[in-house]
Structure 1
Amino acid sequence: TEPTVLIAQIQNQSARLLKQNISLNLVGIANSKQALLNRNGITDSNWRAALAEAQHSPAIETLVEFSHDAQLLNPVVVDCTSSAEISRQYVAYLQKGFHVVTANKKANTDDMDYYRALRHAAKAQHKKFLYETNVGAGLPIIDNLQGLLKAGDKLERFFGILSGSLSYIFGEVHNGLTLSQATLKARELGYTEPNPAEDLNGLDVARKALVIAREAGLELELENIQVEAAVPDDLAQMTQADEFISALEKYDAEFQKIVTAAEAEGKVLRYIAEIDNQNIQVGIQAVAQDHPLYTVQAGENAMVIHSSFYNPVPIVIRGYGAGADVTAAGLFGDLIKTMSVETSL
């Protein structure tokens, strides 16, 4: 998982960073039940056992008090969950002097009032709110987009494959697997949610598209996005994984007809998010060989940015977008960005 890989990265790279005058200490690990806190740093790779026996509450009050008592310099909270409850605490963390680094898309796709409040709190407290991994795992999408916009560029059109899991599934379908076989394979590799319906219903991609649209200045809400799920609605709404897989197997033959029809025209199916003017739409498209997303390999993310500066030839950012390693690497990169100017890389 992302937190496991990230913790290992922090523990393994602390010595290297120290040579560059960067002191990065892991002093707390929390789950929904308890928090393991140690002002001297958590260096043991067997932290799971210690966490299971930890007596501290994971509540924000406990962590703020600990940070104060330990006199932590430049504290950062990293959110690897998908919890709306935790994302709603970001403003409080910022106000208490923490930077916030997150892979959790809930904050940036909450209502616009909270979206603005977050940025206001970060600015007022001179703290960083960083979320590169909200879109494209470890790919530098947000960073590049922010750089363009700060330079006076304007997003004119965007389209892309924003789900590593759906990229993998659709790639495997064109390699001869059925939809249910490809989905099960993706789940076994850890690319999908425990219940793959949460990938195939398209809502995760819709959230990512909304993050990008808002970066570009569009004041839209999640309900403004046109979402076409990759499977029929009755399947997309299933909450039990076993029930979903069973139903998906019955849908295989129907989906195969869509695949065969696309291949007969020399096309491939891709699950694409598109932003054009004030419209965002998410769904399956059959693309031909001259389309920028035709050659995307299974598991890759790819984004095509048409802007005032980059037109008619767009910016294309492409790379691996599935799995814990790339997301953890993106989180680690954001973590390093919270360092003060004097000690930055």
Structure 2
Amino acid sequence: MQVLKFGGTSVGSSKNINKVITILEDYSKQDKVICVVSAVGGITDKLLNAGNLAKNSEKSYKTEYKAIKAKHITILETLVPNNNSKIIKVLEEKLKSLKNLLDGIFLIKELSPQTSDRLVSFGELLSSYIIAETLKYKGNNAIRKNTQQLIVTNSNFTKAEVKFEPTNKNINDYFNDATQDITILPGFISKSELGEITTLGRGGSDYTAAIISAALKVEKLEIWTDVSGMFTTNPKLVKQAYPIERISYHEAMELSHFGAKVLYPPTVQPVLDLNIPIHIKNTLKPNDVGTVISNDGNTKSSTATGITNINDISLLTLQGNGMVGVPGFSKRLFETLSQEKINIILITQASSEHSICFGISKHDTVQAERAINLAFEYEISKHKIDPIQVENNLSIIALVGDNMKSHQGISGKMFSALGKNNINIRAIAQGASERNISAVISEKDVEKALNTIHERFFENNIKQLNVFITGIGNVGEKLIDQIHQQRNYLKKNLKLDLRIVGLSNSKKMVFNAEGIDLANWASKFHYADKSSLNGFLEKVKALNLRNSIFVDITANEDVSKMYEHYLKNSIAVVACSKIACSSTYQNYKHLQDLSLKYNTPFLYETNVGAGLPIINTLSNLVTSGDKVTSIQAVLSGSLNFVFNNFSDRTNFHDIVKRAQFEGYTEPDPRIDLSGIDVARKILILARENGEVMEIEAIENDSFLTKANIESDTVDDFYKTLIKDEAHFQELYASAKEKNCQLKYVAEFKNGKAKVGLREIPEGHPFYNLEGKDNIVMFYTERYPEQPLIVKGAGAGADVTASGLFADIIKVGSK
């Protein structure tokens, strides 16, 4: 004997029902088949809605009834196209009984639990009739048996309790004599000992199949649905989710209790003691392996088995000093909820006994709040306890696995991953079995939480990074190209799945939650939305993706003012702009503090030396306990390029133009030539060394003329360079006469800093510094005579982009 159960989606259309029939015909070639069916998909909800409309004297219940009737008639006529008048007539009689019941509800304006059970029973009665008649029409030896004649319950309407002794006898008596190859049973429905129509609760068709399987002691129970088994988590929210081949009964019950809809929790109980495996299969993909639920469990899992969630949760808290040390509060609280037939999903209590916190369905919140405040009215009036506190719009997420108890640090990994992604936890519960760790979070964070935990436990440690870039000029384009080129390498070798999700320039912004196509990203801007700094931030927050990183590749002060908002939302910030870190010390310190407070990286290696590891080297020296006594550096790749190419055979104006054209200077070259850019860099290094310093404290010995400095525009500036060519030639001649090289040098020593053009003698480490290279010499207590030197290209789009890329990867490794 084989027992198969098909859910609402599996029998939701004539097309799917034909798939069910094909499966039943194949199985019946091997052995007799018992098939339990649910109502046609969506019909139970429609029946309840029609009943409520009728109860509320709303005539639109007739419209709902007509939709129910049309759905069933259409399915039957499609499945049995010829000679179906007799079958249609019987179906219409059944539908007429449903109409009479709804009319009665409308007249008396009442829908009791008993009437509700009678009403919803029509769903399974109708679907099972259609499927049985179709099987017969196709020549199968099939029969429909009304489960109400087999399953006996008490009179607890809407969720009746099964009387197993008479139920098992009825099942065995009937099937011992049954001769048909295929028997169709309506799931969910039953009758009380008094002959009243009852139901086994929503999802009760699974339960029906389990009851039949246990009574007949079959080898296995197959539950056919619209997914290929129980997944590691909800595949609609987590694309990387995959089916679990084997899982234990207890794991299945935990996952089902906390929201996994593939299986109805009470289903497991009748087959658990008999160790009858449950096989979850996909009606639409019958050849998929599916999931086997048994005592063997998930042997492939080293830690967790699955993650699940329940939405529409309210968290209620009973608290007050009057509870401490006083027995009986918990008893009274839970008795009150029990009397109201309110199911508690999660409970946690402070060890101080000052509060009890529990989660329930949001639909029960008003009823629970009213009942509890009434039950504790005296204590509330005496201020011994507070009125019940209610928090709405919450969800419960649960990490489940039999093997979790033998692995330390599971909860730490789970909560650490959530915390790093700004997912606030309102309550935590963990059973003594250590099979389940549950947390209450905001409903808006569910998708991010499931993806975060799934990534941490189920994806071979592949970490997804979601990058949002503002500023897509020369450096931005290079960064996008580098990420595009290296994506496969990062995934294979560093276990990083790096996606660019948002891009913006000063005019437009584009987003794609699945990742922008980097081979064709520029074309997306043709129809993009208008950009704004706040709009970009709000979109990043709304997407609410895990491991989000904001990258600033602008020289815009307004953009730098947005950093704090990203950090406060646990969105990492990577910046090549020096504006934030060279602004007031108060702002610099504020951003560092936010980074620490929210455990969110704020990285800006490219502020000094583009792709060179200058800030990182300094940080390592300080962190290791060394003390930096002085810094000498050439920190402007653009100025080094200019003075390396300027001579008495060239024109200073032309060299500066060339540097701008080749991308070594800012669009406004005055920023580079004025020395302010170098001053900002030495200021940042001083601050990284622990100095409290402002930009005004740095001595800037400018080599420009007064006319250069006072020029109003870039064009005017270039005109002054032509007029003042003699001044620059004098600077070159003086250096040449002494056999020196002109270098723009930054110095820090004894808490003071200065920048300016210097004549560097032959033999000095700066003398042969070529092209656009930077060099930094750190003199420390460990390097007192021979400094620690960092040297290399310090300007250019490629190296700056690579520095930003390195910071992004560093965020991923944290």
Question: C-alpha distance in 2, partners of 1:16/1:101?
Answer: 21
Tell me which residue corresponds to 1:53: 527
Equivalent residue letter for 2:485: N
**Structural mapping, 1:1-345, within 5 Å:** 1-20=474-493, 21-55=495-529, 57-60=531-534, 62-174=535-647, 176-341=649-814
Cα 1:63–1:180 shift into 2, 3 Å: closer
**Preserved CA contact (<8 Å) 1:180 1:248:** yes
- Alpha-carbon offset, residue 191 of structure 1: 1.0
Q: Which has the higher contact order (CA 8 A, sep 6+)?
A: 1
Question: C-alpha distance in 2, partners of 1:213/1:233?
Answer: 29
Please, what is the CA RMSD of the aligned residues? 1.6
Q: Which segment is superposed worse, 74-83 or 260-269?
A: 260-269
Q: Which segment is superposed worse, 93-102 or 8-17?
A: 8-17
| 2:812 counterpart SS class | coil
**Preserved CA contact (<8 Å) 1:162 1:208:** yes
Q: Rg larger in 1 or in 2?
A: 2
**Preserved CA contact (<8 Å) 2:560 2:580:** yes
Question: C-alpha distance in 2, partners of 1:228/1:52?
Answer: 47
Deviation per CA, 1:51-110: give whole Å up to 9, x if none: 2421254334x4454345434110000000111111111111000110000001011011
Equivalent residue letter for 1:311: P
Equivalent residue letter for 2:640: S
* Uncovered stretches (5+) of structure 1, i.e. residues with no partner: none
Question: C-alpha distance in 2, partners of 1:218/1:63?
Answer: 34
**Preserved CA contact (<8 Å) 2:648 2:732:** no
Question: C-alpha distance in 2, partners of 1:91/1:237?
Answer: 34
**Preserved CA contact (<8 Å) 1:28 1:37:** yes
Question: C-alpha distance in 2, partners of 1:120/1:318?
Answer: 31
- Alpha-carbon offset, residue 126 of structure 1: 0.6
Question: C-alpha distance in 1, partners of 2:766/2:648?
Answer: 17
| 1:339 counterpart SS class | helix
Deviation per CA, 1:247-278: give whole Å up to 9, x if none: 10111122112211211111111111111112
Question: C-alpha distance in 2, partners of 1:252/1:338?
Answer: 47
Equivalent residue letter for 1:15: N
**Preserved CA contact (<8 Å) 1:304 1:315:** yes
| 1:297 counterpart SS class | coil
Question: C-alpha distance in 1, partners of 2:596/2:712?
Answer: 39
**Preserved CA contact (<8 Å) 1:105 1:207:** yes
Equivalent residue letter for 2:783: Y
Question: C-alpha distance in 2, partners of 1:75/1:167?
Answer: 36
**Preserved CA contact (<8 Å) 2:647 2:729:** no
- Alpha-carbon offset, residue 133 of structure 1: 0.1
Larger proportion of strand:
2
TM-score by length of 1: 0.94
Question: C-alpha distance in 2, partners of 1:121/1:212?
Answer: 20
What is the number of residues matched between the two proteins?
340
| 1:109 counterpart SS class | coil
Equivalent residue letter for 1:33: K
Question: C-alpha distance in 1, partners of 2:811/2:776?
Answer: 26
- Alpha-carbon offset, residue 32 of structure 1: 2.4
Question: C-alpha distance in 1, partners of 2:524/2:795?
Answer: 30
**Preserved CA contact (<8 Å) 1:37 1:56:** no
Equivalent residue letter for 2:758: Q
| 2:707 counterpart SS class | helix
**Preserved CA contact (<8 Å) 2:582 2:588:** yes
- Alpha-carbon offset, residue 175 of structure 1: 7.8
* Uncovered stretches (5+) of structure 2, i.e. residues with no partner: 1-473
Cα 1:180–1:308 shift into 2, 3 Å: same
Equivalent residue letter for 2:527: E
